[in-house]
Structure 1
Amino acid sequence: MIFTVFYHSLFDSGAHYSIKRFLELLKDEYDFNMIICRNSSNDVVKDLSTLNIKIIKKSCVRRNVFTEFIIDDEIKNLIKTSDAVWILDNEHITAPKIKRIRDVPVIAYLRNYLIICPINLASYSMKDVCLTKCSFPRIISCKKGIYDHYIKNHYINILSYYVKGRVLVYGKGLLDYVRWLETVDDRLLNSIDLFIAISHAMKEIYTYHIPDLSDKIEVVYNPVLSEDVVRKIKMYRQDSSEDLFITYSSGDLPVKGFMILLKAFREIYRSYKDLKLVLTGEYNNDILKRFCDYENNDICDRIKLLGKIDYQDLLRTYVSSKAVVYPSIWPEPFGRVVAEAQLLGTPVVASDIGGIREIVEDNVTGYLSRPGDPKDLSDKIVLTLERMWNKDLISRKTFEKFNDQVFLRRIKDVIKKVL
């Protein structure tokens, strides 16, 4: 079978690693023509080139929150000779164009909530806008709630909010909503034959908003780490008490619960003076500095910022950690960090929300905490530090759900359903 695949590949993210694994597991059984944006991230292109599949760079544009590919003759010919077309990230608005060329089956991944709300991460942060159906007043309420959260947690100062925050809340809120209404319509939804949600929680949210999609959404968990990779990374496990640290790698976006974690770490520090908080990924140093200045914290010396590190080094950091922390306050579509850490045998303390609760088995592979509650998060981290964990059990229990064979069986069922 021949598949044409659309993937913007504009930036490196957790979704990228899931997409790469998807292609890695299927490339020996199917032929792929992969269409990516001309201005793709060099790191992403370099990573994809290791798969030895056909990669074609084409023009694409950002429309509202989506990526739209410009269809030329070469793409038309690929579509005409394909058995199916895959949309791997946020390229959904290309689907109606595909259907005009040929009525070929289109399968689209749902990795975010863009189809049901014009704001991506922010929409589910402070006000749960999309959970109560999207509307302009709710968008405004959400954006205002976000800026209130920014001020309260020292992301921005009050003057900055009054100078530009109100413009973004009211002006851009209306613009976002109008553009989104113009983009997402029945024509787009009817152009996609099957959607793949990456968790049951995600499917529930989508079908709440668009009940007609219920029969068109299949749940297939993201492929994560192979047994071979896990076996190699585990060789770097270090259990020495002199290297006591927990790891967080989800960035400083408020919806990821970064400030919740800092407040929780302040509580933990009172009992664990030797504990370090290791941060991997990209962070705004000004946010950390403001937190330390406003809160008058002495914990900042115990925070180690590694920055963006090689993927293999990231996995080694997970396996050497006493715990990996994932304190999101929005319903994560999946939670790749959680699955990776547990596959490596490291217990996870994560929010009891969204797709996360489908990965963490509470009190077995880690602990679930109340979203947005620093005290409960700190209590669960302390419980994790004080407990002797069966790391092999954590790894084995996670592999039962997230292994290559389960993924291949489910994804092939999806392919059979549309073909």
Structure 2
Amino acid sequence: MRILTVHNYYTQPGGEEQIWSTESGLLESHGHEVLHYTQDNDDIPGMNPCLVVKNAVWNSNVYQDLRSLIRDQKPQIVHFHNTFPLISPAAYHAVKDEGIPVVQTLHNYRLLCPNALFFRDGKICEDCLGKPFPLPGIIHGCYRNSRPASAMVATTVSFHSLIGTWTQAVDVFIAYSRFAMDKFIQGGIPAEKLAFKTNFLYPAPEIGEGKGGYGLFVGRLSVEKGLGVMLDAWRQLGGKIPLKIVGDGPMRGLVTEAMKEMPEIEWLGRIPLEQVYEVMGNAAFFVFPSEWYETFGRVAIESFAKGTPVVASKIGAITELIDHQRTGLLFQPSDPTDLATQIKWLLANPEALSQMRQEARAEFEAKYTAADNYKRLIEIYESAIDKKSLVAL
């Protein structure tokens, strides 16, 4: 197959870039030719703000570029990851107008919520879910704490809902969890356009030994990731076990202050993936305290691959990943006392923790390997091609 992928880079690289890159590598390893069309948000500071807004809704240059690229390269399918804000949903129409199937991976909830998280003021918020125009998101300035920026997102999504972009220009949406699928259906995405596919790792890391004697957090240092909940839990643990924190973000100051108070906490900042895997494999357990509706939770399967059990909040798609007391433990979201209680239980039951290590790796091998994921991805591509062929008839 010749596959064209489309992705708008974020200012701060994250999971979406990693998934896009990994998936492309997996396809190439099976002999497919993978082409890339990208834009980069690092270019935004030098652009006219009015042009950024206009292009977020409909980028005419991208529309023409993609049509020309498709005519020249003749891909059999186009797989989108992110179009916001520079590429714009005009790109779907460019592909559709060339008669090529369109697949879109749903990495977040931007089609349903201006800040893409369903999270506001430190708690879950669904005020915009199912609304033709997400006015609450504008009133509260949910995107970047800015009403004008939120209005840009809301206008983009609503305009394309109105002209049928999501229902007519996209053939298949990929969701990584049943939970996310249900939310998108509630938000108006036709159920028949949704396909389920888990995330995966490629190449898969080797299992670790778990002899480091510490807990581990890896992720963006932000409110929705549950950083404050985790730090409060460590205060209650009273130095029972060290904590290593990997990542960066707006709450780095909270981490540095916590380190002064609790010397058992160590902040490693951003480190390469190979080092993340090493630290993860040596951890006694991984802490996944998110307070928002994660669409999947790739970091959990990274932990499973290293044989490290996951102590996670019982919310959203995370509940589909963690089997309580088999591959890890679940605690009530936003509840540091319950998180501390679960960690104490793990520390008091070393045999159970050892068994969980084996079960975590087994879970990864059973559900999240590249081989199974590749097979499912090709099934989705073939389904999209078949749908396009039927429409053409």
CA distance in 1, matches of 2:289, 2:75: 42
Whether 1:200 and 2:162 are equivalent positions in the alignment is no
CA distance in 1, matches of 2:4, 2:282: 40
Question: 1:57 maps to which residue?
Answer: none
Q: Structure 1 pair 344/65, CA: closer, same or farther in 2 (3 Å)?
A: farther
* Deviation for aligned residue 1:77: 3.2
Question: 2:303 maps to which residue?
Answer: 341
Moved over 4 A (4+): 38-41, 60-69, 134-137, 140-144, 168-176, 289-292
Please give the TM-score of this superposition, normalised by the length of structure 2.
Answer: 0.82
Equivalent residue in structure 1 for 2:200, among 223, 230, 249: 223
* Deviation for aligned residue 1:75: 3.4
Indicate the SS of the match to 1:410: helix
Question: 1:84 maps to which residue?
Answer: 77
Equivalent residue in structure 2 for 1:314, among 257, 260, 276: 276
Moved more, 253-262 or 407-416: 407-416
CA distance in 2, matches of 1:399, 1:127: 33
Question: 2:125 maps to which residue?
Answer: 128
Structure 1 residues 19-418: aligned runs within 5 Å: 19-27=20-28, 28-37=30-39, 70-71=61-62, 75-80=66-71, 81-90=74-83, 93-99=89-95, 101-121=97-117, 123=119, 126-129=123-126, 132-134=129-131, 136=134, 138-139=136-137, 168=145, 177-178=154-155, 180-189=157-166, 190-210=168-188, 212-226=189-203, 229-231=204-206, 234=208, 237-239=209-211, 243-269=212-238, 272=240, 275-283=241-249, 284-288=251-255, 298-299=261-262, 301-388=263-350, 389-390=354-355, 391-418=357-384
Contact 1:199 1:355 (8 Å CA) reproduced: yes
Contact 1:225 1:343 (8 Å CA) reproduced: no
Q: Structure 1 pair 173/115, CA: closer, same or farther in 2 (3 Å)?
A: closer
Q: Structure 1 pair 276/117, CA: closer, same or farther in 2 (3 Å)?
A: same
The gaps in structure 2 that reach 5 residues or longer are 44-50, 386-393
The amino acid that maps onto 1:414 is: I
Question: 1:18 maps to which residue?
Answer: 19
Pairwise CA RMSD of aligned residues?
3.1
Contact 2:128 2:135 (8 Å CA) reproduced: no
CA distance in 1, matches of 2:337, 2:70: 53
Indicate the SS of the match to 1:393: helix
Q: Structure 1 pair 138/385, CA: closer, same or farther in 2 (3 Å)?
A: farther
Indicate the SS of the match to 2:205: helix
Contact 1:4 1:32 (8 Å CA) reproduced: yes
CA distance in 2, matches of 1:412, 1:137: 39
The gaps in structure 1 that reach 5 residues or longer are 42-59, 147-164
Q: Structure 1 pair 394/373, CA: closer, same or farther in 2 (3 Å)?
A: same
Contact 1:346 1:394 (8 Å CA) reproduced: yes
Contact 2:4 2:36 (8 Å CA) reproduced: yes
CA distance in 1, matches of 2:82, 2:147: 29
Indicate the SS of the match to 1:361: coil
Q: Structure 1 pair 136/77, CA: closer, same or farther in 2 (3 Å)?
A: closer
Contact 2:108 2:116 (8 Å CA) reproduced: yes
Q: Deviations over 1:59-92 (max 9, x none)?
A: x967798896833766323313121111023456
Contact 2:306 2:361 (8 Å CA) reproduced: yes
Q: Structure 1 pair 64/383, CA: closer, same or farther in 2 (3 Å)?
A: farther
The amino acid that maps onto 1:218 is: A
* Deviation for aligned residue 1:36: 1.6
Indicate the SS of the match to 1:364: coil
The amino acid that maps onto 2:159 is: E
Contact 1:366 1:384 (8 Å CA) reproduced: no
* Deviation for aligned residue 1:384: 2.2
Q: Deviations over 1:87-144 (max 9, x none)?
A: 0234561334414641211111100000111112363651422575346564368669
CA distance in 2, matches of 1:333, 1:216: 17
* Deviation for aligned residue 1:188: 1.7
Moved more, 326-335 or 386-395: 386-395
Contact 2:210 2:308 (8 Å CA) reproduced: no
Indicate the SS of the match to 1:316: helix
Moved more, 379-388 or 309-318: 379-388
The amino acid that maps onto 2:76 is: D
CA distance in 1, matches of 2:149, 2:9: 26
CA distance in 1, matches of 2:252, 2:62: 41
Contact 1:108 1:196 (8 Å CA) reproduced: yes
